[in-house]
A and B are shown apart, each in its own frame.
Chain A
Amino acid sequence: MTPPDDQHLADESKRLLLLGRRVLVVEDEYFIADEIRRFLIDHGANVVGPFPNMAMGLDLLAAREVDCAVLDIDLHGESVFPLAHALRAKSVPWVYVTGYHARDIPSGLEGTAYIAKPINETALIGALHGLI
């Protein structure tokens, strides 16, 4: 039996990083939200949501603790920034997934990472690893 190589060990330990983590997902497009949910579940995360609008995200945040969040910037014309603000107040890190260019994000609410749509699974999971 050959020992697992270093790369494999690194992958395995990364895989554990999201295990059991509560990840809030706010994304207005059903299919994209569902895709994010699948990516996260595949990596062992507990998905909170997904929610299609900011109000539901804020309600959830008031009621429960989350470890990190994945936010779409534009929710049917409503910007997600108030929710980002609430996350910052609770010291919860987040990443954006969006079709917007990074320069549209107000200063102070930049988040930790910015993932352009269509979402690449590796990029999303890698960014979340960076948060934890």
Chain B
Amino acid sequence: MQSAKSWALPLLAEFGQAALRGADFAEVMRLGARCAADGLRIGKAVIFGSAPNAEAVSDRIPDITFFAQASVGWDVELLRQVVVDGRGQLPADRLIRDGSPMCLIFNRETEGDSWPDFLESGGVSEVICASIGAGDTRYGVLEVGAEAIGHFTADDQAFMSALANLLAAAFLRFRENPGRERIGAARDIPSDEVPAIARSAVEIPIGIAVLDDEGTILQSNAFYNEYISGHVVAENHAPAKILSEIKDERATGETLLRLVGGKEIWVRLDVFPLFDHDRRQFGSCTIITDVTRTRFKRLAPNPDLPHRIRNILSVIRVIARRTAERSESVEDYAAQLESRISALARVQTGMIADPNAGVDFGMLVSEEMLAHSVKGDKVTARGPRVKLWSKAAETLALAIHELTENAIKYGALSAKSGRIDISWRVDSEANPSRLELEWCEFGVPVVASAPRRRGFGHELIERTLPYELAATTSIDFLPGGIRCAVTLPLARRPPSAEFHRGPLLWTESSLADAP
């Protein structure tokens, strides 16, 4: 389970209060859009939905018609023309039609001609859309746009999903009071109104409860009551444990519940503290979402896996052969082969678990250094966060591995005074933009000279990288150590998603220093 970035949590908790207590629909929507914009650190957010007093609007597809309810950073005139009804080609339409996913990312590159005019006019190249409400009952769509493709991450999807859950709770509250845009805060609703909320909640499979600081339920819906009376079969955190431990921070857990009647479902629990205007906690809000379908999907075998395994086996076989050709003894062969397979295994582990997540280049470098117990003062690694798609990660990991091994045997890591400076940058001026990587060794006392025989590492850098990743590469033997430079185009997503469902080839997410 991806968790939202830590800086986004207070925003969610704060909005949780507005969603459940806010008295003014427009204000709650405005705060929701602001929360989305702040949470994703980008100033273009919009909530499509239907106002609670809108007449002749059914909750059910295909009769839904959503209009912009609130926005931040958008030209309101542009949004006024946008209608989301689940039938058009807008990303929001597609999200509604697709049904199951809670949150999706779309970009202009993959959407091609169907990229909507209002996004084009607004200078937006990528949008992240989250469904407000689930199943048959959708209250709307939360959408945030970015100028650059590759802006949004899995963290952002988790944040958007959590925020959309809170918005669903808000829509639910206001929908219970048709014809009124202003209603009392959730905790002010007299207890005899609670059954009405419980009744309506049959439509939306999200359990919601507001608890006071003693843990007493002030308000809950039918789904919450059903879930909470279920028997915990397996857990990351049991609901009771979460509820008792939550004091002043948000918590998330997943639990397998056996409901009364025997049906088993996986639920995700999100608990947010609620603060009053003096920043005193007056209670907490618990949201329970049925994630059986998404969890099942996650546990289902990755359809790409057999293909990947066969490819990896093929690569290992060739590496074994190449290593044998160049080894001087059986011991040398065994040691080299083992370290190469380990390098391959390190980068595969994460990719097999989640082939869509991408591999952070900085992590890849630091894991390689860690595997060799290289001391921090010998190596500096600097560069922006760059996520690599699986093949690029695999080949670059092998290349970094060969450079490291070489440095340990003959280069900077074999010499007392030696050190390595690894740096990378993204040149977004170039078209297509490209990653420029430099590996510089210093302080190697013996003046380096080009080796007589080109080894496996050389082949990787001089042949494999150009062949597989269209990279240009160079290795120079300079006084003091070697210098290796690799420049590779930041390829976009593959033209066909038929075989790889991964959303990214590369994303440059932030300019934070790599570890």
Say whether A118 faces chain B, with CB atoms less than 8 Å apart.
yes
The answer to whether B494 and A32 have CB atoms under 8 Å apart is no
Say whether B463 faces chain A, with CB atoms less than 8 Å apart.
yes
Alpha-carbon separation in the docked complex, A69 to B498 (Å): 23
Alpha-carbon separation in the docked complex, A79 to B494 (Å): 10
Alpha-carbon separation in the docked complex, A52 to B466 (Å): 10
Alpha-carbon separation in the docked complex, A99 to B309 (Å): 8
The answer to whether A78 and B464 have CB atoms under 8 Å apart is no
- Which of B193-201, B273-281, B313-321 lies at the interface? B313-321
Chain B residue nearest to A116 in the complex (CB): B310
Say whether B495 faces chain A, with CB atoms less than 8 Å apart.
yes
Say whether B7 faces chain A, with CB atoms less than 8 Å apart.
no
CB distance from B457 to the nearest CB of A (A): 14
Say whether B311 faces chain A, with CB atoms less than 8 Å apart.
yes
> Which chain A residues lie closer than 8 Å to B306 at the CB level?
99, 101
In the complex, which of the residues B314, B322, B494, B500 has the most CB atoms of chain A within 10 Å of its own CB atom? Answer: B314
Interface of B is mostly: helix
The answer to whether B496 and A78 have CB atoms under 8 Å apart is yes
- Which of A6-14, A23-31, A84-92, A124-132 lies at the interface? A23-31
With A31-B314, A99-B308, A118-B313 given, is the CB distance from A74 to B499 under 8 Å? yes
By size class, the interface of chain A is 20 to 34
Alpha-carbon separation in the docked complex, A74 to B467 (Å): 16
B497: contacting residue among A35, A77, A100, CB under 8 A: A77
Say whether A119 faces chain B, with CB atoms less than 8 Å apart.
yes
With A77-B500, A99-B307, A99-B308 given, is the CB distance from A32 to B468 under 8 Å? no
B485-511 Cβ-contact flags toward A at 8 Å (1 or 0): 000000001111111101000000000
With A79-B498, A99-B308 given, is the CB distance from A52 to B467 under 8 Å? yes
The answer to whether A118 and B307 have CB atoms under 8 Å apart is no
Alpha-carbon separation in the docked complex, A76 to B491 (Å): 11
A19-50 Cβ-contact flags toward B at 8 Å (1 or 0): 00000000011111111000000000000000
Chain A residue nearest to B307 in the complex (CB): A99
The answer to whether A99 and B494 have CB atoms under 8 Å apart is no
Alpha-carbon separation in the docked complex, A91 to B321 (Å): 36
In the complex, which of the residues A31, A117, A118, A119 has the most CB atoms of chain B within 10 Å of its own CB atom? Answer: A31
Say whether B391 faces chain A, with CB atoms less than 8 Å apart.
yes
CB distance from A79 to the nearest CB of B (A): 6
With A30-B463, A33-B467, A118-B310 given, is the CB distance from A79 to B318 under 8 Å? no
> Which chain B residues lie closer than 8 Å to A98 at the CB level?
307, 310
B454-488 Cβ-contact flags toward A at 8 Å (1 or 0): 00000000011001100000000000000000000
With A30-B463, A99-B310, A99-B311 given, is the CB distance from A79 to B499 under 8 Å? yes
The answer to whether A35 and B307 have CB atoms under 8 Å apart is no
Alpha-carbon separation in the docked complex, A78 to B389 (Å): 14
Residues of B at the A interface (CB closer than 8 Å) are 306-311, 313-315, 317-319, 321-322, 391, 395, 463-464, 467-468, 493-500, 502
Return the 8 tightest CB-CB contacts between A and B, nearest first: A77-B494, A99-B310, A31-B318, A77-B500, A99-B307, A30-B464, A118-B314, A117-B310
Residues of A at the B interface (CB closer than 8 Å) are 28-35, 52, 74, 76-79, 98-101, 116-119
